[in-house]
């Protein structure tokens, strides 16, 4: 069995919980209150900025020029594809640049990105691909499941369309293939560590929906 398949099996329950989360279901049927999607977007803008840094560390740590080149291209992909989607939504939801700049990430967004940055700083390219892969792959599977669904909220429909396309499938497959290639070249201990990164990122993907749905914030002490 390919390493990627072993990892996919290990997170099956966690990913099913993401598919069934009321945030995702609310996107599909259009009933998700926009205030919750707004909270998601603000946290996701922070998340994506950190995600790009993690991908860039992958480019820096690659030992092969072709991997450096592709990881750097993926940084640009995050900027172009993800942030343009965001800018479009932010405008429509009345999120200003000032609000974005002043926004402090919620505990889960902070913890998830801290997890990725810790792994990226300490690890090699294999650790980095393992820690970022659930972001690609889970969103692809959500996009796939929601194909054919017509959400009554146009913003949610655009979000669904963005993750169902062919361009996205190719990006995901490229990272899955990179994971499998590296997995064949490293030790069993390396693979075990990579698997843990993948599982923890999957937990955080679930918690990210929950964070947005519950409008999670830091405690206020008075
Ligand atoms: C919490 C969270 N997880 C995953 C994604 C999706 N995503 C982020 S970067 C990237 C790869 C380049 O497009 C993908 C698919 C998101 N937006 N927010």
Quote the pLDDT of residue 106. 98
Query: With 80 as the cut, is the pLDDT of residue 55 above it?
Result: yes
Residue in 27, 12, 53 with CA at minimum distance from that of residue 137: 12
The rounded Å distance from CA 80 to ligand 1 centre is 12
Please indicate whether residue 44, judged by its CB atom, sits closer than 6 Å to ligand 1.
yes
Give the integer Cα–Cα distance in Å for 123 and 184.
17
The answer to whether 88 touches 37, Cβ cutoff 8 Å, is: no
Alpha-carbon distance values, 106 to 19, 55, 84, 102, 211 (Å): 22, 22, 22, 13, 8
Please indicate whether residue 3, judged by its CB atom, sits closer than 6 Å to ligand 1.
no
Please indicate whether residue 71, judged by its CB atom, sits closer than 6 Å to ligand 1.
no
Give the integer Cα–Cα distance in Å for 22 and 40.
13
Contacts of 196 (CB under 8 A, 6+ apart): none
Give the integer Cα–Cα distance in Å for 49 and 117.
11
Please indicate whether residue 133, judged by its CB atom, sits closer than 6 Å to ligand 1.
no
Quote the pLDDT of residue 167. 83
Please state the pTM of the whole predicted model. Answer: 0.96
Share of the chain above pLDDT 90, in %: 87
The rounded Å distance from CA 191 to ligand 1 centre is 23
Mutate which of 73, 80, 131, 139 for ligand 1? The one with the most ligand atoms within 8 Å of its CB, which is: 139
Per-residue pLDDT tens for 85-136?
888 898 899 999 899 889 999 999 999 999 999 999 999 999 999 999 999 9
Mean pLDDT, rounded, for 17-33: 97
Residue in 137, 105, 135, 124 with CA at minimum distance from that of residue 194: 124
The rounded Å distance from CA 222 to ligand 1 centre is 36
Domains and their CATH numbers in the chain: 3-213 (1.20.910.10)
Give the integer Cα–Cα distance in Å for 31 and 42.
20
Mean pLDDT, rounded, for 174-199: 98
* Angle, vertex CA 57, rays to CA 59 and CA 5, nearest 5: 75
**What token pair was written down for 158?**
């655009």
The residues annotated with a catalytic role in the active site are 135, 205
The rounded Å distance from CA 83 to ligand 1 centre is 10
- Cα-only R_g, the chain: 17
* Angle, vertex CA 182, rays to CA 117 and CA 51, nearest 5: 25
Per-residue pLDDT tens for 27-51?
999 999 999 999 999 999 999 999 9
Atom of ligand 1 nearest to the CA of 109: 1
ipTM: 0.96
Q: Return the HEC string of 190-217.
A: HHHHHHHHHHHHHHHHHHHHHHHHCCCC
Please name the residue that has the structure tokens 């169902």. 164
């Amino acid at each position: 069995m390919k390493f990627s398949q072993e990892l996919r099996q290990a997170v099956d329950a966690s990913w099913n919980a993401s598919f069934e989360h009321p945030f995702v279901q609310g996107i599909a049927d259009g009933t998700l209150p926009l205030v919750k999607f707004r909270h998601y977007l603000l946290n996701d803008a922070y998340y994506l900025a950190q995600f790009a840094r993690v991908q860039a560390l992958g480019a820096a740590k690659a030992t092969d020029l072709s991997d450096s080149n592709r990881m750097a291209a993926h940084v640009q992909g995050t900027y172009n594809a993800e942030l343009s989607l965001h800018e479009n939504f932010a405008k429509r939801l009345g999120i200003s640049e000032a609000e974005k700049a002043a926004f402090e990430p919620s505990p889960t967004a902070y913890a998830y990105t801290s997890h990725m940055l810790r792994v990226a700083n300490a690890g090699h390219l294999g650790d980095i691909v393992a820690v970022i892969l659930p972001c690609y792959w889970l969103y692809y599977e959500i996009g796939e499941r929601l194909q054919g669904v017509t959400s009554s909220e146009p913003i949610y429909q655009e979000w669904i369309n963005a993750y169902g396309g062919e361009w996205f499938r190719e990006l995901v497959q490229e990272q899955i293939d990179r994971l499998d290639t590296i997995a064949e070249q490293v030790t069993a201990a390396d693979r075990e560590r990579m698997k843990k990164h993948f599982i923890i990122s999957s937990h955080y993907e679930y918690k990210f929906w929950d964070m947005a749905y519950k409008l999670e914030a830091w405690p206020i002490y008075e």
